[in-house]
Structure 1
Amino acid sequence: MNPIRISLLAAAVLFSTQVMATNSQQDKMTSCNADAKTKALSGDARKTFMSTCLSASAPAPAASVPATQQDKMKTCNADATAQSLKGDARKSYMSTCLKK
């Protein structure tokens, strides 16, 4: 292989590694935001949660995401009950929560 091809190959590998790291961080941010929203956090509680969530070495939000639809239903139902939602507000919340 000539030196130009080696240089181009090395640049491509470095670029793809950087893109994957950025996507991973974006995914983590999206997931942490969704969890904070589900928990209805605001103000200092949200800042603390986001800081902890984003600084975790493993994707912590992925561990809290329910694996099955039944688990998701239980989680959304518990969250709606904790927020004392009733009637149309509960239906709307459940619909949004179950689509995540």
Structure 2
Amino acid sequence: MSMRLSLLAASAVLVFASAAFAATPQSKPLSPSQQKMADCSHAAKGKTGADYKNAVSSCMKGDTTAAAAPAKMTPQQRMSACSKENAGKKGAEYKSAVSACMKAH
């Protein structure tokens, strides 16, 4: 009987503990500086290394010119954009137009 009572008491403690844990808020609201850091980090998404650090740093300082600069396109993105620009061309004309476009971007 004592074993049943112990198991019942342990179960009750677990139920009350889990209910108390569920009632507490899981995360505190971000402070203004934490929110700004999150926003700047989100704005610099896709950048890596020094580019990321510089973008976040300038954003945190309030520099809007760095955030307004377009992100550098990957070679695949450049090729896709150049292909769309020269969609009606064929053969050598297409190849030279895409090549010039790739060099320009």
Higher relative contact order (CA 8 A, sep 6+): 1
Structure with greater Cα Rg: 2
Superposition TM-score, scaled by structure 1 size: 0.34
Superposition TM-score, scaled by structure 2 size: 0.33
